[in-house]
Structure 1
Amino acid sequence: MTTLIFRFSSLGDVAITVPVIRCLSKKYPDHNFIVVSREKFKPLFEENSNVSFFCCDFKGRHKGFKGLINLYKDLSEFNPTRIADLHNVLRSKILSLFFKFSFKKVRTLNKLRSEKKKLTRSKNKIFKPLTSVYYNYQEVFNRLGFHIDLNKDHMFPGAKTITSNYNFNINTKNIGIAPFAKHQTKVYPLDLMQTVVSNLSKYYNIHLFGFGDELIILEKWSKAYQNVQCPSKSITFNEELQIISNLDLMISMDSGNGHLSSIYDIPTITIWGLTHPYLGFKPFLMDDNNQLCSSRDKFPLIPNSAYGNKTIKGYEGAMRSISPKEIIDKAQEILS
Structure 2
Amino acid sequence: MKKILILRFSAMGDVALLVPVVRSVTAAYPDMEVTVVTRPKFCTLFLDMERVQVFPADVDYTYTGVLGIRDLFGKLLRKGPYDVVIDMHDHIRTMMLRTLFRIFGTRVVVFDKGRPEKKAFTRRENKVTTPLPHTVDRYRQAFEKAGFPFAIAAPPYVALSESIQTASGWFAYKKHMDGVKWVGLAPFAMHKSKIWPLENYPLLIEEVSKQTGVKFFLFGGGDKEIKYFESLKKQFPDKCEVIAGQLKLRQEIALMRHLDLMLCVDSSNMHLAALSGIPLLSIWGGTDPDVGFGPYGYDVKNIIQIPREELPCRPCSVYGVEKCLRGDFACLTRITPAAVSERLLTLLR
Rounded to whole Å, the distance in 2 between the matches of 1:96 and 1:31 is 20
User: Counterpart of 2:219?
Assistant: 209
When the two chains are superposed, the root-mean-square deviation of aligned CA atoms in Å is: 1.9
Alignment counterpart, residue 117 of structure 2, candidates 112, 115, 123: 115
**2:200 corresponds to 1:189:** no
2:221 counterpart of 1:220: no
Q: Where does residue 156 of structure 1 map in the other structure?
A: 156
Equivalent in the alignment of 2:145: 143
- The residue number in structure 2 matching 1:31 is 32
Q: Residue 49 of structure 2 aligns with which residue?
A: 48
Q: Secondary structure at 1:161's aligned position in 2?
A: helix
Determine whether 1:176 maps to 2:184. Answer: yes
Q: 1:288 aligns with which of 289, 293, 300?
A: 300
Asked if the contact 2:155/2:275 (under 8 Å) is kept, the reply is: no
Q: State how far apart, in whole Å, the 1-side matches of 2:343 and 2:59 are.
A: 42
Check the 8 A contact 1:119/1:303 in 2, yes or no: yes
Distance 1:108 1:201 in 2: 49
The Cα shift of 1:231 comes to: 1.0
TM-score by length of 1: 0.94
What's 1:235 paired with?
247
- For structure 2, the residue ranges without an aligned partner over 5 or more in a row are none
| Separation of aligned partners in 2, 1:334 and 1:319 | 21
Percent identity reads: 31
Structure 1 unaligned segments of length 5 or more: list them. Answer: none
Q: Deviations over 1:25-64 (max 9, x none)?
A: 1011221101111111122112322011110122333111
Between 1:89-98 and 1:229-238, the stretch displaced more is: 229-238
Kept after mapping to 1: 8 A contact 2:183/2:260: yes
Map 1:19-98; keep pairs closer than 5 Å.
19-79=20-80, 80-98=82-100
- Corresponding letter in the other structure for 1:15: A
Q: CA deviation at 1:162?
A: 4.6
TM-score normalised according to structure 2 size: 0.90
Q: Report the AA paired with residue 57 of structure 1.
A: D
Report the secondary structure of 2:290's partner residue: helix
Give per-residue Cα distances to partners, 1:170-219, cap 9 Å, x unaligned. Answer: 32321111001100011001111221233334521111111112111011
**Aligned equivalents of 2:320 and 2:288: distance in 1?**
9
